[in-house]
Amino acid sequence: MNPLDGPGPDRPSLLSPHPRGRFPNRPFQLRGLGSGGDGLPDVAAEADPASRWLVVGHDVLGGQFAWVPAEPGAPPTIHYFGPDDLGWQNLEQGYADWLYAVLAGSLTRFYETLRWPGWETEVAALGLDEGIHTWPPPSTVEGEDLSKVSRKAVLMAGLVSFHHEMARQLG
């Protein structure tokens, strides 16, 4: 089975569209940009002309995945900006390998510290342009246990900006 063959009852899919832009049966923590879902920003609209990095996905807690072009002696790879550590991490995978891993179910282990009891229900209720703001944030000691924080649906653009601004201020 190749997960890139598209959605089906026995095949994972990055997006399982619902008429209202929601995922009633399959909660996803990751929104892949450029996948054509209503409410998702266009990859070109997310691109920062001053940066060579290209944001290719958001997770519901405001994390970002970005494709970083090749440097001399290094291949292009996907990097992740996490709301828990407020820094970029090289995932050491090219775009195709990263996308395949996501579609094949690798998010369970990747996000094990960023889930809480009942997360599936909360994520399934979100629109594609929404994320979950937590207070205190997961980058703080008080916010590490997401089952004990306040959670609220907010627009994704504001959530991503919030985490990047925190990272900038903490420098």
pLDDT, residue 36, reads 58
Q: Is residue 23 part of a domain?
A: no
pLDDT tens string 144-161: 999 999 999 999 999 999
Q: Is residue 119 part of a domain?
A: yes
Q: Is residue 157 part of a domain?
A: yes
pLDDT tens string 93-151: 999 999 888 888 887 888 888 999 999 999 989 988 899 999 999 999 999 999 999 99
Closest CA to 157 of 119, 135, 131: 131
The DSSP bridge partners found for residue 152 are 133
Q: Phi and psi (nearest 5°) for 31?
A: -110, 115
Total residue length of the chain: 171
Q: Is residue 116 part of a domain?
A: yes
pLDDT exceeds cutoff 50 at 168: yes
Residue with tokens 């649906």: 153
By residue range, what is the domain housing residue 111?
29-170
pLDDT, residue 1, reads 35
Mean residue pLDDT of the chain comes to 79
Q: Is residue 158 part of a domain?
A: yes
pLDDT, residue 4, reads 35
E-strand spans in 1-85? 30-32, 54-59, 64-68, 77-81
Q: How many domains does the chain have?
A: 1
Q: Is residue 72 part of a domain?
A: yes
pLDDT, residue 22, reads 37
E-strand spans in the chain? 30-32, 54-59, 64-68, 77-81, 88-90, 130-135, 150-155
pLDDT, residue 12, reads 37
pLDDT tens string 23-67: 333 446 777 766 556 666 666 666 666 677 888 888 999 999 999
CA distance 104 to 164: 29
CB 160 within 8 A of CB 62: yes
Q: Is residue 3 part of a domain?
A: no
Q: Is residue 18 part of a domain?
A: no
